[in-house]
Structure 1
Amino acid sequence: MTKEYPVIRLWSKGKPPVPTARDGVIFSFFMQHEHKEVALAAWRALQRYRQAVPPGSLGWYGADDGDILELDDRGWEVARQQMIERPSGNSGHALLMESPGGGELSNGYFFEYEGRSANNPFGHAPFSAVSFAFPTEYLQGNGATFLRILALELAQELPFSFGYASFAIISPAGLWSSARVDLIEALLVRYPGLDLHGLEGFGPIIGTRALCPSWLTFLGQPLLGQLGGIDALRNALPFPEVSLLPMDGDRVLVTLDEWPDPIDTQAKAIPPQYRALARLMEPVLFQYEGEEFLPFQQDTNQWLRRFLQP
């Protein structure tokens, strides 16, 4: 069995236009732990991701000076140093991708990591965040069960507070922001199950809050406790499509459907299990406050609460 998905290709507004984003699946995990406490676990998860994707899927890496260089053996050593052996030890960062651009199907695979420790010079609280991307063809070729098992294996390595896996507009380092805004907005309105990946935007500020429900929703502490534990989830989600899988460390994986669902509202209503989980999670949903994200703050907050809206 396979599932059909919308084909999304977004190009930059500049001349000549270059591919900036496409359809795919994203796994993202957020951890309120110091970079030093997470870096090795994130590196192990990267090695598992590397084993799971086709050989050569990660061919380039982002250098500290902003250049994009070939990910050969030397490049892998640089990436390891970027994540776990920086001299200051205050932060770690890695961006590994399929291609630096120039091809219609580029950037289908990429890995991002961002972590900071308490004594970082940026003033943010300690945090770590990581994402793994796959083109839609990988999902269709391997099946949803395979991806769910892979997401669980990666999650086991990571001390997450919140995480998710979703059909998404994917692009490394938020390159989708250079595409036409009206095209992105139209996609998000039509497909509320479509995630707009942005690790760097949410990583430093999400804290121990959650983003909206997704195909796979990972809940760790303190979020799971604030929601009433796994019993509260069972009571709120009495749907045949939903499964709950307890994980070690008092965590849980909530699966809302057999396959990731972009939820095409031109063909059907939002499934009730998404709305039910959103209602339970409402007290812990992230919302922008103050003026840090003007003028897009209100639109972003509404988008994060889209399953709560009529």
Structure 2
Amino acid sequence: MSRPVPQIREGIDIEDQWVVLVREGISIAFYMRQPHEVMASAVWRALERYRQAVSPRQPGWYVDSSGDWQPLDSEGDAVIRKRLLESSALVELIERPDSVTGIAFNYRGQSKAVAGFEEEERERTCALEFRLPIEFLDEQGPEWIRSLAIDLGRELPWNSGHVGLSLEVGSWTRTLTPRLREVTRRHPGFDLNQLDRLALYLGTKLRPPAWLNFLGPPVLNELGGAEVLRSRLHSPSTQVEALSPERAVVSLGPVPEAGDLETGDTLPAYRELARVLEPWLYVHKGEWGGLTEAEVRQWERRFL
């Protein structure tokens, strides 16, 4: 039986206003080893689909070229559309600029105009993330989230992707590190996603297992395809669905789970998939937010 998702909220009081710095939520992420120009229109359509899905809530602010937050009014919307359809795109949208809410869109596009993107810098990738508030898990249901994720990725040439519980961090300050370290060590089902780093270094490697795992070329082909992968996974809660001859989604149970190492809930289905995917798992070099390289290595291998 799945357990309730633990509430992880950290914030500060500013003039009698509670500002949330960290909250639990759902992350839908895709990684594509294709230049931005190839899929600019598909990314724009995915953003429109996301905005439709979360309505009446909406991203209301965007980051301008100077790094400042601007209202996403009709003028701002035109700026974002133009930016997404140009040769390279860095787009960050959020519901509120002063407090994380679970509604956010983040895209780090890599242009073929960037020297070495297609040949020398094989680690670069286009990275895309949609966030959903944890409340959607009860209000809309896990099957709705799963269908939305598949729909968002339908036109995107993704190599990999994942959907699951994630901690949304508005600004990773030094004071937050002890709490984030504590939560991720106790609850391995929570992810921490730093899209800017992944866009530079992930390539076609894979992030650690999540509730839903999107596997495409080259990894799925090197595994032998969806049928061979299915034969290597024996957890009764795991399902492997082929989306096309080259792409599949692996579901680890009917709902995303945080796990709890203090009570012995180690997420065995996640661990089984991690062992199968270990040769392709991403290894980050250096720090990750406020975690040291050694802590990052331990966190990335939490299911192994």
TM-score by length of 2: 0.90
Equivalent residue runs for 1:1-310 within 5 Å: 4-11=4-11, 18-85=19-86, 89=87, 91-102=88-99, 106-120=100-114, 124-125=121-122, 127-171=125-169, 175-177=171-173, 179-248=175-244, 250-289=246-285, 296-308=292-304
Which residue identity is paired with 1:101?
D
Which residue identity is paired with 2:4?
E
State the alpha-carbon separation in 2 of the partners of residues 218 and 56 from structure 1.
27
Which residue identity is paired with 2:96?
S
Indicate the RMSD between aligned Cα atoms, in angstroms: 2.6
TM-score by length of 1: 0.88
Whether contact under 8 Å (1:39, 1:84) holds in the other structure is: yes
Q: What is the aligned residue count?
A: 298
Gaps spanning 5+ residues in structure 1: where? none
Which residue identity is paired with 1:29?
F
Whether contact under 8 Å (2:242, 2:249) holds in the other structure is: yes
Shift of 1:37: 0.9
Change (3 A) 1:70 1:249: farther
Q: Secondary structure at the match of 1:140?
A: helix
Deviations 1:7-27 (A, max 9, x none): 111237999994322110001
Gaps spanning 5+ residues in structure 2: where? none
Whether contact under 8 Å (1:193, 1:214) holds in the other structure is: yes
Q: Secondary structure at the match of 1:28?
A: strand
Whether contact under 8 Å (1:20, 1:178) holds in the other structure is: no
State the alpha-carbon separation in 2 of the partners of residues 177 and 188 from structure 1.
16
Shift of 1:122: 9.2
Work out the percentage of aligned pairs sharing the same amino acid.
34
Shift of 1:203: 1.8
Which residue identity is paired with 1:58?
P
Change (3 A) 1:307 1:116: same
Shift of 1:171: 3.4
Which residue identity is paired with 1:156?
R
State the alpha-carbon separation in 2 of the partners of residues 72 and 108 from structure 1.
20
Whether contact under 8 Å (2:2, 2:255) holds in the other structure is: no
State the alpha-carbon separation in 2 of the partners of residues 37 and 149 from structure 1.
24
Q: Secondary structure at the match of 2:189?
A: coil
